[in-house]
């Protein structure tokens, strides 16, 4: 079984949200079988900044679902969007 790199855009509730706290929660709460590849920030508009999370999971059924559920449950997260999925060789 191979590995998959998934990229997720995480939108905070407002420009005032503490992005560092959200990123720390992500780092501390990654589900078993998932590992962070990179966490970056992307300015959107009017002071709103999205968190771009790239993570690696096994190539199996529902591979990114535990991470999606974990991130969606973090206080201050308004929405998530999977923006890319690619198989690692």
Dihedral sign for Cα atoms in the order 83, 61, 2, 54? positive
Mean pLDDT, range 28-54, rounded to an integer = 95
Mean pLDDT, range 1-30, rounded to an integer = 94
Indicate if the pLDDT at residue 59 is higher than 90. Answer: no
How far apart CA 11 and CA 88 sit, in angstroms, is 26
Between 15 and 60, whose confidence is greater? 15
Indicate if the pLDDT at residue 9 is higher than 90. Answer: yes
Q: Lowest-confidence range among 14-18, 24-28, 40-44, 59-63?
A: 59-63
């Amino acid at each position: 079984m191979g590995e998959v790199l998934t990229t997720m855009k995480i939108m905070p509730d407002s420009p005032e949200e503490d992005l560092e706290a959200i990123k720390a929660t992500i780092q501390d709460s990654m589900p078993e079988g998932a590992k962070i590849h990179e966490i970056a920030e992307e300015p959107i508009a009017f002071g709103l900044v999205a968190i771009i999370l790239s993570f690696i999971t096994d190539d199996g059924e529902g591979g990114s679902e535990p991470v999606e559920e974990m991130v969606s449950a973090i206080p201050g997260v308004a929405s998530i969007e999977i923006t890319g999925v690619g198989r690692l060789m």
